[in-house]
C-alpha cells in the first residue's frame, strides 16, 4: 500500500544539491542572470495582452489596483519561494518544495500543475508569436500564407482559406529548444539581450504615454459593480471589489515567471545567496513597471476601445489612435512583444524541463527526462520531448484563451508553497536557512489568503478546468508514478537501502 504522504528527506535533497558529477546540471548562473531570467519570463504576453483584457472585461481603470493586489500575492509567495530556494537549492521549484514538506501526492499534483503553466503556456505563446511574426513580415510586404501559419481548425473569414499547419510556431519552439540544449549559460545571454530590449520599450511607453493620459478615462477609477458579457458570451463581474479581484486573477498571468527562477536553482553558482536575489529582484522590478504601465494604458485609451477594435494588439492600437506623432513607437512595441514572447517561451521551456528532471530523478516520470547531455550538461532529451509536445499543440490547435487557466494553476502552486514554508518551520526549525521569510506564519498566511482570493475571482469555469486537468494527472500518477517512485520503493522495501543511509520517507 502506497504511503501518499511520504516526503523526500531534506538530507537527500541537500546531497543532490552538492552533487557536481557529469550526470548533474552545470552551475553557470549568477544573480544578474537569475534576475534577467525572471524578468524574461515575467514581461511578455501578460503585460502586453492580458492588461487590456482585464480593463475591458473586469476592472476598467482600476486594473492598476489589480496589479497591486496580484503583486502583493506574488510578494508573499516570492518570499516563501526565496526561503525554499536558498535552503533546498535543487531543480524542481514548487514540486521539490512540496515533496519535502507535504508528501508525494501533493508534490505530484504540483508537478503536473506546472506542466500547465510551462509546457502548455509555451505552446500558446508560440502561437501568438506566429501571429506577430507575420505582422512584422507585413512591414516588408511579405507574409507566410494563411495555410502554413494556422491550424487545421482555423478558417480565414474573408477568403475561406483553411489552415494546415502553423510553421512559424514550430520554428520558434525548435530554435529555442535547441538553444536550451546547447546550454543554460548561452540561453541566459540571449534572454538578457531580449530583456534589455523589452524593458527599454516599456519604459519609453510609460515615459511618453504619461503625457497623453486623459483624466476622463480614469473617472470613476473604480467603476460601480456590474456585469459584462464578452463577445464570446462569457459573463464576468465588472467593477467593484469582485471586478478588481477578477482582474487580479487575469493579470496574474503577467507575473508568471518569477517562480521559473527557482526551477534553475541547481544551475545557480551560489544558490543560497543568488536565488533570493533573483526571485525577489525580478519581482520588484516588474511590479513597479506593471503598475506604471497599467496606469498609462488605461489612461490613454477608453474601456470601449479595449472592448472593440483595440481588443487585439491593444498597446499598438492605443499608441496609433491617441499618441499622434509616435507611430514609430507602435512598431517598436510590436518588435518588443515579439522578442518578449520569445524570452517567455525560452524560460517556460527551461522551467518545464527542470521540473520533469526532478520528477524523473524521483522515479515519478520516465528516466529519459533526467538524462543529461555528456558535453552540454543539460537535460537534452527532455528538451527534445517537450519540443515535440509543444510543437504538436502549437502546430495543429488554434490559439485558445488559456491565460486564466494557467493563472489558476500557478496560484494553486503558490498557495502550497506558502503552506509548505510554515510546515517546514514547525517540523525542521534546525535547518540552515540562508534567507528567512519574516513574520511567519503571518506572511505565509497572507500569501494563501490573497492567492486564494484571486482563485475565487477567476470563477467556477476555471475551477472546473483545473479539476479536470488534475484528474488526468492523478490517473497518470496512480498508473505509473506511484509504481516507480523511489520514495515508495524505499517505504515498501527499506531492507534494500544501504546501511546507514537516511530513509527516503519521513
pLDDT above 80: residue 273: no
pLDDT above 60: residue 424: yes
Phi-psi region of 206 (alpha: psi -120 to 50; beta: other; left: phi over 0): alpha
Which listed CATH number (1.10.8.420, 1.20.1740.10, 1.10.3720.10, 2.40.50.320) goes with 26-490? Answer: 1.20.1740.10
Question: What are the cell numbers at 250?
Answer: 487575469
Q: What is the CA radius of gyration of the chain?
A: 22
Residue of 159 and 408 predicted with greater confidence:
408
pLDDT band at residue 435, thresholds of 50, 70 and 90? Answer: confident
- How confident is the model over 334-373, as pLDDT tens digits? 887 888 788 788 878 887 887 888 888 888 888 888 888 7
Residues of the chain above pLDDT 90, percent: 14
The 10 Å CB-count burial string (b at 16+, else e) for 484-496 is: ebebbbbbeeeee
Out of 180-189, 308-317, 338-347, pick the least confident: 180-189
Strand-pairing partners, residue 268, are: 29
454 contacts: CB under 8 Å, gap ≥ 6: 69, 70, 73, 245, 248, 249, 252, 407, 411
Cα atoms found within 13 Å of the Cα of residue 277, Cβ hemisphere only: 15
Question: Distance of alpha carbon 126 from its chain centroid, rounded?
Answer: 14
Closest CA to 202 of 393, 370, 335: 335
Domain ranges of the chain: 26-490
pTM over 0.75: no
pLDDT above 70: residue 209: yes
Dihedral in degrees, nearest 10, Cα atoms 412, 416, 417, 419: 140
Local structure of 232: helix, strand or coil? coil
Q: For residue 237, what is the enclosing H or E element? A: strand 235-238
Q: Name the burial class of residue 498, with classes exposed (0-12), middle (13-18) and buried (19+) by CB atoms within 10 angstroms of its CB.
A: exposed
Residues of the chain above pLDDT 70, percent: 84
Mean pLDDT of 273-286: 81
For residue 66, what pLDDT is reported? Answer: 92
Residue of 224 and 27 predicted with greater confidence:
224
pLDDT above 50: residue 497: no
For residue 17, what pLDDT is reported? Answer: 57
Q: What is the DSSP letter of 503?
A: P
For residue 266, what pLDDT is reported? Answer: 62
- How confident is the model over 47-57, as pLDDT tens digits? 777 788 889 88
Amino acid at each position: 500500500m502506497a504511503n501518499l504522504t511520504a516526503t523526500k528527506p531534506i538530507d537527500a535533497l541537500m546531497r543532490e544539491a552538492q552533487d557536481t558529477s557529469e550526470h548533474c546540471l552545470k552551475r553557470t548562473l549568477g544573480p544578474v542572470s537569475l534576475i534577467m531570467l525572471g524578468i524574461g519570463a515575467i514581461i511578455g504576453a501578460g503585460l502586453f495582452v492580458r492588461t487590456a483584457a482585464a480593463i475591458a472585461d473586469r476592472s476598467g481603470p482600476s486594473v492598476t489596483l489589480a496589479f497591486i493586489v496580484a503583486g502583493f500575492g506574488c510578494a508573499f509567495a516570492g518570499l516563501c519561494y526565496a526561503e525554499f530556494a536558498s535552503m533546498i537549492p535543487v531543480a524542481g521549484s514548487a514540486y521539490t518544495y512540496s515533496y519535502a514538506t507535504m508528501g508525494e501526492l501533493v508534490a505530484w499534483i504540483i508537478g503536473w500543475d506546472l506542466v500547465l503553466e510551462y509546457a502548455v503556456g509555451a505552446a500558446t505563446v508560440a502561437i501568438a508569436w506566429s501571429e506577430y511574426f507575420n505582422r512584422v513580415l507585413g512591414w516588408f510586404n511579405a507574409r507566410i500564407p494563411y495555410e502554413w501559419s494556422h491550424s487545421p481548425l482555423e478558417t480565414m473569414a474573408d477568403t475561406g482559406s483553411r489552415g494546415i499547419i502553423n510553421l512559424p510556431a514550430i520554428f520558434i519552439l525548435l530554435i529555442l529548444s535547441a538553444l536550451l540544449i546547447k546550454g543554460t549559460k548561452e540561453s541566459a545571454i540571449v534572454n538578457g539581450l531580449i530583456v534589455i530590449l523589452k524593458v527599454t520599450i516599456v519604459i519609453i511607453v510609460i515615459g511618453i504615454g504619461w503625457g497623453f493620459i486623459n483624466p476622463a478615462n480614469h473617472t470613476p477609477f473604480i467603476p460601480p459593480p456590474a456585469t459584462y458579457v464578452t463577445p464570446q458570451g462569457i459573463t464576468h463581474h465588472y467593477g467593484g471589489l469582485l471586478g478588481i479581484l477578477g482582474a487580479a486573477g487575469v493579470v496574474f498571468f503577467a507575473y508568471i515567471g518569477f517562480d521559473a527562477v527557482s526551477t534553475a536553482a541547481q544551475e545557480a553558482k551560489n544558490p543560497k545567496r543568488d536565488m533570493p536575489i533573483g526571485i525577489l529582484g525580478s519581482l520588484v522590478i516588474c511590479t513597479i513597471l506593471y503598475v506604471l504601465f497599467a496606469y498609462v494604458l488605461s489612461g490613454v485609451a477608453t474601456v470601449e476601445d479595449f472592448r472593440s477594435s483595440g481588443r487585439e494588439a491593444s498597446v499598438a492600437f492605443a499608441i496609433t489612435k491617441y499618441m499622434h506623432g509616435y507611430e514609430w513607437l507602435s512598431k517598436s512595441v510590436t518588435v518588443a512583444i515579439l522578442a518578449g514572447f520569445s524570452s517567455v517561451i525560452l524560460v517556460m521551456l527551461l522551467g518545464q524541463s527542470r521540473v520533469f528532471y526532478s520528477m524523473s530523478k524521483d522515479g515519478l516520470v520516465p528516466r529519459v527526462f533526467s538524462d543529461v547531455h555528456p558535453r552540454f550538461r543539460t537535460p537534452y532529451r527532455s528538451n527534445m520531448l517537450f519540443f515535440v509536445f509543444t510543437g504538436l499543440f502549437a502546430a495543429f490547435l488554434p490559439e485558445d484563451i488559456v491565460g486564466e487557466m494557467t493563472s489558476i494553476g500557478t496560484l494553486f502552486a503558490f498557495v502550497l508553497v506558502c503552506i509548505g514554508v510554515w510546515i517546514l518551520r514547525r517540523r525542521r526549525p534546525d535547518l540552515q536557512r540562508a534567507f528567512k521569510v519574516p513574520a511567519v506564519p503571518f506572511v505565509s498566511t497572507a500569501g494563501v489568503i490573497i492567492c486564494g482570493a484571486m482563485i475565487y475571482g477567476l470563477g467556477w469555469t476555471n475551477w472546473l478546468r483545473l479539476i479536470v486537468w488534475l484528474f488526468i494527472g492523478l490517473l497518470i500518477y496512480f498508473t505509473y508514478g506511484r509504481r516507480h517512485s523511489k520514495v515508495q520503493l524505499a517505504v515498501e522495501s527499506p531492507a534494500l537501502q544501504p546501511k546507514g543511509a537516511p530513509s527516503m520517507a519521513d
